[in-house]
Amino acid sequence: MPSAPHAVRRPAATRSRGLRRLLQPFVAAEVFDFWARSIHPTLAWDRILARVVEHRRESADAVTLVLKPNGNFAGFLPGQHVNVSLEIDGVRVTRAYSLTDVPRADGLLSLTVKRMTGGRVSGELCERTRVGTVLELGPAFGDMTLPRQLQAPLLLAAAGSGITPLMSLLRSLAAQGMPVATTLLYWTARRDERCFAAELAALSARFPQLQVHYLLTREAASGADESEGRAHAEQLAHTVPDLAQRRVYACGPAGFVETLRALTADRAAHFQAEAFTLPELTADAGGAVRVHLARSGRTLELPRGRPLLSSLEENGLQPVYGCRMGICNTCACGKLDGSSQNLRTGSRSDEPEQALKLCISGPCSDMTLDL
């Protein structure tokens, strides 16, 4: 939790929640939203819509979007993420992005999006989103936030777009006058993929207690603040000799986070990490996956590629169902994350789904169901 200056923002609209609750029985949200949209593009009953107000290049392969959300957005803490939804070819797709700024008085939010090769959503956000585009957001989530009382010095370790939540933490620290010694280790493949380079330089010039080290994995180091190679023990011992006192925040691809965990988790004062992982690609291999049921809080080991409905039933659950052949939509249930396969057509879905037909869908990876 951050200290006082960055308490969760309470926009004016949330104060009128009482009124909204009073009117709720008389209003059909979809009818309200339909007409509201013609008054203002982000006016909505309870959905969080945000308009792009600025679109700027942040590095060779990343852009920063500045968004103005409607009053339904209830604020966030530095280090948190939001789900961003947009429609591509008629299909709504959702990805989580970190908010890179601190909560601002004008309520604007910033996202920094790295263009992934072949990434549909990042491509759409980087290439085809304009000022004026409206995106839908979810509420802020994530617990990689700063503690209420800052005492221990910090080590922030970022790889690639893992910089985004850590940038939010860093900006929050800067706004508080950098109360503890902080070191940022920031890995990218090449120099031109670095985001926020000018701002990081300005911050480290302004705060002597902030050290910024850049690491390159596919280019030779040249600057005094640069070195080469992936994370390893000597390098850490050299750049962060006081690791034992540090509170570590690591963010990046799963492999990077695991390396950092192995190198620091037992030695540092505290270790906290978040990894973003691409969907696993081995679809038809046998074996089991872990299916987490969000509402009942249970986690089950279910066979890969077998209908979820029958697997759940074998585990003693009784989801509602009808035809058991993919016609009636009775068993359809929300999939919050993970990959599934339609066993009748063989097509795969790596996206969250609002209506996954359990009777004809098999899991391809660990997943979370809204059951």
Which residues in this chain contact another protein in the complex, by CB under 8 A? 26, 29-31, 33-35, 47, 87, 89-94, 322-323, 325-330, 332, 344-345, 347, 351-355
Based on C-alpha coordinates, what's the Rg of the chain? 23
CB of 131 to another protein, least distance (A): 22
Pairing of strands 367-369, 288-293: parallel
Cβ 328 to another protein shortest distance, Å: 4
**In the bound complex, what is the minimum distance in angstroms from residue 308's beta carbon to another protein?**
16
Nearest to another protein of 94, 227 (CB atom): 94
CA distance 238 to 243: 10
Cβ-contact 252, 187 below 8 angstroms: yes
Is residue 336 a contact partner of residue 313, using CB atoms and an 8 Å limit? no
Nearer to another protein, 238 or 344 (CB): 344
Q: Who's near 242: CB < 8 A, 6+ residues apart?
A: 153
Q: Is residue 235 within a helix (H) or strand (E), and if so which, with residue range?
A: helix 233-239
Q: DSSP readout, 56-111?
A: EEEETTEEEEEEEE-TT-----TT-EEEEEEEETTEEEEEEEEB-S---TT--EEE
In angstroms, what is the minimal distance from the CB of 29 to another protein? 8
Q: How far is the CB of 346 from another protein (least distance, A)?
A: 9
**Cβ-based nearer residue to another protein, 302 or 359:** 359
Nearest CB to another protein, comparing residues 337 and 353: 353
Q: Which is nearer to another protein, 14 or 94 (CB)?
A: 94
By beta-carbon proximity to another protein, the closer residue of 318 and 345 is: 345
Q: Tell me whether residue 45 or residue 207 sits nearer to another protein (CB atom).
A: 45
Dist CA 359 CA 355 (whole Å) = 12
| Secondary structure letter of residue 247 according to DSSP | E
Structure tokens at 260: 């950092």
Minimum separation from the CB atom of position 92 to another protein (A) = 4
Cβ 176 to another protein, closest distance in Å?
A: 38
User: Is the separation of the CB atoms in 36 and 27 below 8 Å?
Assistant: no
